[in-house]
Structure 1
């Protein structure tokens, strides 16, 4: 049966009824699109049928007649992406549109592809859901416009396609809820009331467990570290050797000064013996005696430094420092910190509260510490010390230094563990709690 011959109504209705059954039996959107693109060929004899799905502001090609799945980026499919956008603009509503190149006057790039791949006319059948939102577009390439009897009887089939498309896309029964004015006012009133609810102000900050009783061990003299005599986190007693400085330079200096003392004593003795026979030598005795005392004083100072090359622990505790290999052979100056001797029985929280997250805190404010190693057993405490000035931390973040106590004597509160502390401030309104940082940023940016 061709388009030039009128279609008998009974036969046409039977064929369209069979197509409706196939559409209702489709179990996926791709199966429905394949049926739409191929099953109308015995009735229309088109050159090609294309099924597009609406994707926001663009069309996605779902099926091409004669192909199982269009997946290759051929020149035709690349051009078809541009042509589909133009076709969608030519179909403003839900009525089918017959387009010819002469009547539609497409852009030049679309017209060039039309001359190469498409016949004289294009029949576009839009598919819409109940809310008149476009689901897709069926495009059939024909030599002439379909007869009126076919167009009139195809409306029922197109409605079936729309129904099945919406059902397979899970859009059936979807309705946009539009609240009434009274409902909107009620929601706004509830939100405004919630903003006035008082809540406790909180802040999060990185934290490390340190000792409240920790003594800094620094270098007593300038020198080079020769040996580290303890291991990190080793328990030490008072008087335990901690580290030793290199003595090579000091011992060489002591040997030289010892010989200089001997020479000065010999010169003083010789001048004393000459003074019995030569009265002029008596004037040299005072100078040589002072020189001898100077050399002895220098020797005593060097010997005192030699006794300080080995540093002992001033108290019992735990030696806290980094890897010993980082210190071996490193030159140090007087007063440079090498390690700390901390008392593990008096742990505390060292909190680095960033300036951007700072809240009003007073000594005695509650703190909860969630350790990374023990997240299910938080530590409780209170702030006992706050810094006046913010300084850059080891991570380069400008922060306030806070010290908090740890309640009880938990076994897992070991020195050196890290975690996140939650600090509790005073009660404020929920609106202030939520808008505090945005308002601070806005005022800093605007200068108001």
Structure 2
């Protein structure tokens, strides 16, 4: 512990340095307040000292461990300190003549003749000294206080107040203390200078500020109206005659199915047709002299028609096994090696043909983010290959039903046409930003959390 000091032969500046050192070493507000009301005697002798705050009243008394706030002396001292904080915002001496009559009537009962008021102001940027008095030290003595010690006391209160406010800010972690401190600050300032009122007004304006309701969804560039080429029949892909993203002409051979089985069936059908025709000619000759053979000519003619129809069907199937391009464009499909030898069913998609400049945006709107989208709503696609430049588009249609995506999640298909068509490669992926109707900022912020809460809470 520090050695005790007396003020008899020590210079006030040394005493001030010693008190400042003790104030900086204080760890709690209670320790610092005890130091103020008891150790200030090193600078100025007095009989009593009262430490008062506007928030809590009398906090500490000299020579008392724990003051009773309900005691008559404490209540009277609170009224005196409150009066001095309002009418004397700077350091100065006063007597019973400087307080209201109802307080002066009890002066002699509690105090000596002379008193000194030392305000402690909250350090507020831009405020004039003494403008925000919310606490103060009141000392009482029997003799007048030396005038040469008042500047030293003022400096000591400034040093002590700095340490006290530093510890007060450390205690603001409690919500209750923070709210009490905030109410105290607001009560001292005019209404137009209260930050809380301006903050509440700004928050209210921002809450009703109209913003577009937007969601993010996976998106990519796809062909606008491609021609889908499907398997014309059940079979096995024999050969792919083009490469992915190759430009093809109308009538160009794209792929063909295995024709071995069709060729065999067609050959059998041709032989059956020749047999039926030979049999018909034989009975036609016999019918000239045999009435019985003449009656079988109609059945043989029908059999020939059946064989010819079968042959025509098989010939057409063999021709359909070779798939040709319906028009000019770019062919889109997977690697040829993945298709060669692969069994396909009738109607199964094999490839597509699209125009290179006919590109649009396809986005998958998750069920949880299904906001109302009008036709022509704005869409911005940020491609992974170029995230700084957005592709502008507008909604062309939104699917009525959600469908399963390859990743297993259900989503609504959204198609949007480009506003400025350019040289964009089909297949580029990114993130689409879909813009809905205008809503308030408060609704925009609470929409997703409230939707999640509604799944678990029934109100």
Instruction: Give the shorter-chain TM-score range.
Output: 0.5 to 0.7
Q: Decide whether aligned partners of structure 1 residues 348 and 290 sit closer, same or farther in structure 2, where only a CA change above 3 A counts.
A: same
Secondary structure of the structure 2 residue equivalent to 1:377 = strand
Shift, 1:428, TM fit: 0.9
1:269 counterpart (269, 277, 281) = 281
Shift, 1:408, TM fit: 2.0
Q: In the alignment, what sits opposite 1:199?
A: 211
Q: In the alignment, what sits opposite 2:353?
A: 341
1:422 counterpart (421, 433, 438) = 433
1:325 counterpart (334, 337, 342) = 337
1:175 counterpart (167, 170, 174) = 170
Q: In the alignment, what sits opposite 1:106?
A: none
How many residue pairs get aligned? The number is: 278
Secondary structure of the structure 1 residue equivalent to 2:270 = helix
Superimposed CA distance per residue, residues 396-446 of structure 1 (whole angstroms, 9 cap, x where no aligned partner):
2211111112222333x2101101111111221111111112222222323
Q: In the alignment, what sits opposite 2:420?
A: 408
- Once the two structures are superposed, the pairs formed by residues 45-444 of structure 1 within 5 Å of their partners are 175-177=170-172, 178=178, 179-181=181-183, 182=186, 186=197, 187=199, 190-411=202-423, 413-444=424-455
Distance 1:279 1:231 in 2: 65
Secondary structure of the structure 1 residue equivalent to 2:425 = coil
Shift, 1:282, TM fit: 1.2
**Please, what TM-score do these two structures have when normalized by structure 1?**
0.58
Distance 1:176 1:207 in 2: 51
Shift, 1:217, TM fit: 0.8
Is the 8 Å Cα contact of residues 286 and 293 (structure 2) preserved in structure 1?
yes
Secondary structure of the structure 2 residue equivalent to 1:281 = helix
Q: What is the root-mean-square deviation in Å for CA atoms of aligned residues?
A: 2.3
Secondary structure of the structure 1 residue equivalent to 2:453 = helix
Superimposed CA distance per residue, residues 256-313 of structure 1 (whole angstroms, 9 cap, x where no aligned partner):
1111111111211221222223221111111112112211110111011111111111
Highest CA radius of gyration, 1 or 2? 2
Superimposed CA distance per residue, residues 38-62 of structure 1 (whole angstroms, 9 cap, x where no aligned partner):
xxxxxxxxxxxxxxxxxxxxxxxxx
Shift, 1:172, TM fit: 10
Secondary structure of the structure 2 residue equivalent to 1:375 = strand
**Please, what TM-score do these two structures have when normalized by structure 2?**
0.57
Distance 1:223 1:399 in 2: 33
Distance 1:173 1:215 in 2: 75
Distance 1:317 1:176 in 2: 74
Distance 2:225 2:356 in 1: 8
Secondary structure of the structure 2 residue equivalent to 1:400 = strand
Shift, 1:188, TM fit: 5.4
Q: In the alignment, what sits opposite 1:86?
A: none
Secondary structure of the structure 2 residue equivalent to 1:180 = helix
Gap regions ≥5 residues in structure 2: 1-165, 173-177, 187-193
Secondary structure of the structure 2 residue equivalent to 1:301 = helix
Shift, 1:374, TM fit: 1.2
Secondary structure of the structure 1 residue equivalent to 2:394 = strand
Shift, 1:233, TM fit: 1.2
